[in-house]
Amino acid sequence: MDKRTLRKLWMAPLVVLILLDIGLIGFTVLNIEGLKAIRELGIFIIMISLLSIWILVQSLMIMTWIKQGKL
């Protein structure tokens, strides 16, 4: 496979994760009172934080591979 195809294959799941993160943040903001009432707000904040960290790590890994010429 050429490098352009590999970049697309590695970035596609990253885009999906970013959209998932945006959706999760939107859901949490829209339902913050209900999540507080059932004491689940903390779990959602932890999930958003972990997903955001994972996205950041994966983005840095892909950027490093591109600079090294692997992708």
Domain layout of the chain by residue ranges:
3-68
Q: Are 4 and 63 in contact (CB under 8 A)?
A: no
CA distance 71 to 59: 13
Q: Which residues contact 21 (CB under 8 A, 6 or more apart)?
A: 48, 51, 52, 55
pTM of this structure: 0.89
pLDDT band at 1 (very low <50, low <70, confident <90, very high): confident
Q: Which residues contact 54 (CB under 8 A, 6 or more apart)?
A: 17
- DSSP 8-state assignment for residue 31: T
- Distance in Å from the first CA to the final CA of the chain: 10
Per residue in 19-41, pLDDT (tens digit) is 999 999 999 999 999 999 999 99
